[in-house]
Amino acid sequence: MLTSNIFRKLRRVRPGNSALGRGCRKWRSRHVSTQSPIIIGGCPRSGTTLTRVILDAHPNIACGPESSLLAGRFSRDELLNRFEFSVAELAQLRSAATDHAHFIELFFTRFAVRQGKMRWAEKTPANVRHLAYVFRIFPNAKFVHVVRDGRDVVCSLRTHPKYRSVDGQRVPTKIRRPLRACIQHWLRDTAAGLAWRGHPNYLELRYEDLVENPKPTLDRLCKFIGESCRPELLDYYQRQGQHSNPHHFCGIANVLQPISAKAIGRWREELTDSELRLFYRLAARRLSELDYRIERAGIRTAISLQLLAVR
């Protein structure tokens, strides 16, 4: 009886964007789509945005800005601004949708049609933590888990975004997050993705492979999603339109440049000995699980670090 009363109350909740609201929105979703969208996720600063803009350059795929819809979030103003929908158009889609899952399908289908493309993709890093919901409402979805050396990820996470757009100008943020929190963020998100290893619709895409060997890596990606690998993919930075709007990429302007491997190994210059010891103490095992080599650096010995990885 108590459980039934709780469920009845949950049905009457008007979902906001709190954890409860997002959970209610997902729990109420009953629509199951037959579409096969491409969903991108992974720890922030792992290369998800680069993957997104590359796929958006494909003539068949529309992959727009982050929406957070698959995380159960709904922000009318963010969707209007980021996707350039009209108020009336968004209201019409919400009215036509039977639930949140159905709205996601209608919204991105409309977005793809507006781009003149046949298929949609969605990139929000947090998608990696909502795969049970993704595969429940889109059982034919293809999920791309973008992974990157955690040592480089935490270097980027603790200062991101370095800039914000204020009145059309790039303004430094001077952000400096605690390293431990960044390591834990990487551990949490990679664990969420690794739990789905072995699923036929799950692919791990290494950032380092993408930037160092883009052609074979994109061949593998396109085979997984069932699309031809087109030469336009590596010309993503030359495109005009919403994709190249610098306001959408204020903190990550490098995605408007040709593909580059210059950010690989930045941890060697940026992490102190004590910071690297902290990283290995917390995350050496995960680094090895993702097939990244634990390297000797400074006063540390390779033997002790390898012991941490297998402990």
Amino acid at residue number 89: E
How far is residue 163's CA from residue 169's CA, in Å, rounded to a whole number? 9
How far is residue 142's CA from residue 202's CA, in Å, rounded to a whole number? 6
Q: What's the predicted TM-score (pTM) here?
A: 0.86
In the CATH scheme, what is the code of domain 31-259?
Answer: 3.40.50.300
Q: Where in the chain is the domain with CATH 3.40.50.300?
A: 31-259
Read off the pLDDT band of 165 (50, 70, 90).
low
Read off the pLDDT band of 311 (50, 70, 90).
low
How far is residue 81's CA from residue 204's CA, in Å, rounded to a whole number? 31
Lowest-confidence region among 82-96, 196-210, 252-266: 252-266
Q: Is the pLDDT of residue 271 over 70?
A: yes
- Average model confidence (pLDDT) across the chain: 86
Which tokens in the block code for residue 182?
């960044």
- Do 38 and 119 form a contact (C-beta atoms < 8 A)? yes
Q: Is the pLDDT of residue 250 over 80?
A: no
Cα dihedral sign, 182-184-186-189: negative
Lowest-confidence region among 135-144, 185-194, 258-267: 258-267
C-beta atoms surrounding 96 within 10 Å: 10
Residue 162, strand partner residues = none
Q: What is the pLDDT of residue 132?
A: 97
* pLDDT tens digits for range 21-55: 677 888 788 999 999 999 999 999 999 999 999 99
CA dihedral 163→282→291→237, nearest 10 degrees, is -10
Which tokens in the block code for residue 78?
């963010």
Q: Is the pLDDT of residue 127 over 90?
A: yes
- Do 44 and 150 form a contact (C-beta atoms < 8 A)? no
* pLDDT tens digits for range 225-235: 999 999 999 99
Q: What is the pLDDT of residue 72?
A: 85
